[in-house]
Amino acid sequence: AIFVDGVGVGGGVVDRLRQLGRKIVEVNNGAAPIRPADFQNVRAETWSEMREWIKKGGCLPADDHELATDLQGPEYYFDAKNRLALERKEDMKKRGLASPDAADALALTFAARVAAPPIADRWRMDRTNASSWVTA
């Protein structure tokens, strides 16, 4: 599945991908989460889902230093309704940290459940390069 942050600059990306006939999952990180009693917004919820996946053995590239740094950047807190919230990017910038773009991209993939295709459809041969295989 293709997950795109549809807010701001991502809005144009969403429009173009749809124009090209791509099926995408548009994510609005500031929107209400699936579990509003537990999380302030979608961003906090997806980061929490990502954290649980990592704790359960989710595989991350060992040499991706940008992702490792991004995952450690945002601080979390609990809002007045005792919901998990993530530090705003503006506040991270005040602390001298860059926007955690790589980690945000990974977190987007936890915005919706995606079923695996049937085994017979998982791989197809790339006809332009007979020696390579690509996911369907």
Q: How confident is the model over 81-136, as pLDDT tens digits?
A: 999 999 999 999 999 999 999 999 999 999 998 877 666 555 554 444 444 444 44
For 16-25, write each residue's pLDDT tens digit: 999 999 999 9
Q: What is the pLDDT of residue 55?
A: 95
Whether the Cβ atoms of residue 84 and residue 38 lie closer than 8 Å to each other: yes
Higher pLDDT: 45 or 120? It is 45
- The average pLDDT across 41-65 equals 95
Instruction: Identify which of 32, 59, 53 has the alpha carbon closest to the alpha carbon of residue 43.
Output: 32
